[in-house]
A = this chain, B = another copy of it.
Amino acid sequence: MSIEQTVLEIAKRARKASLELANLDAAKKNAALLKIAVNLRQSASLILRENRKDVHEASVAGLSKPMIERLSLDEAKIEKMALGVEEVAALPDYVGEIIESIVRPNGIKIDKVRVPIGVIGIIYESRPNVTVDCAALCLKSGNAAILRGGKECFNTNLVLAALISNALDACGIPESAVQILPTSDRAALTAMLKLDTYINCIIPRGGEGLIRFVAENSTIPVIKHYKGVCNVYIDKFADLKTALNIAVDAKCQRPSVCNAAENLIAHKDAVPVFLKVAEALSARGVEIRATKDVKELLLENGIRALDASPEDFDTEYGDLIIAADIVESLPAAIDFVNAHSSAHSDCIVTQDAQRAEEFLNGVDSATVYWNASTRFTDGFEFGFGAEIGISTDKLHARGPMGLKELNSYKYKIRGEGQTRGKPALL
């Protein structure tokens, strides 16, 4: 069988399973989730053996240390995966929930009901925990999943998929509810992205290059964020302590993640606060890149700074680097954010409620903050209990995506023979 045929068969099986999954009761899905957790724990040594193969090949191939670290499993990481699956089992099941009910003057009753999306393809890089997390979230939300992880993780993913299939089968759920692409060939991915007849949604996670490849080659709707260029704006009426705490948290608490700040901008009347914040960042090892005048201002005040290139304000560093600038006004700050933000998470620090509202309304991003760190953009922090990703798209889901965002809806309409025109028989 060609790669294209193999992928087509996988997609067809997923579609078939999805129709069954759509009407499974919560108890059955939860039993399977708990069984997955059991399997992970019982087969920890098997998982570790396969994982060592991947790690060995990655070392031989000369992968970077952080990449190998992300790829490597140990007993504790496997236990964490199992706990994660148990947490998903404990979450509510939203499938079947009536979102809205309408009774029309002609008596037809229209229920808008939450249903699974159907078949979801998840494309990711080399973190084995993503395999288990995504399988669990898709299963709980009633979706069939086709998983395509990075090639560096291939052996680990195969064994994880086998353990998941085993659990599904033991609980009377079609094994093909969770499938993994059996090859890390790029051709398989490309073939998968064209199967819009069977696959309803693609969620790519990983680097911008991978996500762009997926978005450009997919005929299936994609939910994604390319990158996280988040902005912290220190307003004219900012409180020093609030500004300092938020900027330091947003930049330094975990610089590698997408909700970390990459740009720091300040109102021209907030220069004293800006300097204190810059000093605090610099003291924590943050490299500040600023426009010419701002750089000079920083240097005059004994704060280390480098020249910013225009691209710096559009760059996700994922590191202890921040681009800084000073703006003339609040509208200029909003324009700056709308021009440079990746529309992920942006924050205003101010004590003035009206100016805060202007920022919250004017900034066209998925999550906009007043006096709180951008680091809160996260399904767990929002109380969703889970997260399959974060969307900077404007259709379907925006911001953190939990179980509800993995659902669609259908309209169920119940009548007593109503017709649009005059009935044929009275």
Instruction: State the A residues within 8 Å of B (CB).
Output: 19, 22-23, 102, 104, 108, 110, 117-118, 200-201, 215-216, 219, 221-223, 239, 241-242, 244-246, 248-249, 253-254, 280, 338, 356, 360-362, 364-373, 375-377, 381-383, 393-396, 398-399, 408-421, 423-425
- Least distance between A236 CB and chain B CB atoms (Å): 17
Residue among B110, B241, B373 making CB contact with A418, cutoff 8 Å: B373
List residues of chain B with CB within 8 A of the CB of A413. 367-370, 372, 376
- Contact of A395 with B244 at beta-carbon distance under 8 Å, contacts A362-B23, A371-B415, A413-B369 already known: no
Residue among B201, B242, B362, B425 making CB contact with A244, cutoff 8 Å: B425
> Could you list 29 examples of A-B contacts with CB < 8 Å?
A19-B338, A22-B364, A108-B372, A200-B394, A241-B425, A245-B419, A246-B419, A248-B424, A253-B419, A253-B421, A254-B420, A280-B424, A360-B412, A368-B411, A368-B412, A368-B413, A369-B413, A369-B414, A369-B415, A370-B415, A372-B414, A372-B415, A372-B417, A372-B419, A373-B420, A377-B411, A381-B420, A398-B408, A398-B411
List residues of chain B with CB within 8 A of the CB of A110. 382
Report how far A409 CA is from B425 CA in the complex, Å: 46
Across the interface, do A408 and B381 meet the contact criterion of CB distance under 8 Å? Answer: no
List 8 extra interface pairs beyond A373-B419, A395-B395, CB under 8 A. A108-B376, A221-B395, A245-B425, A246-B419, A253-B420, A254-B421, A367-B411, A395-B396
Across the interface, do B423 and A249 meet the contact criterion of CB distance under 8 Å? Answer: yes
Report how far A222 CA is from B393 CA in the complex, Å: 12
Which residue of B is nearest A194, CB measured? Answer: B216
List residues of chain B with CB within 8 A of the CB of A368. 410-413
Main SS at interface, chain A: mixed
Report how far A423 CA is from B413 CA in the complex, Å: 53
- Least distance between A212 CB and chain B CB atoms (Å): 10
Across the interface, do A383 and B425 meet the contact criterion of CB distance under 8 Å? Answer: no
Report how far A219 CA is from B414 CA in the complex, Å: 38
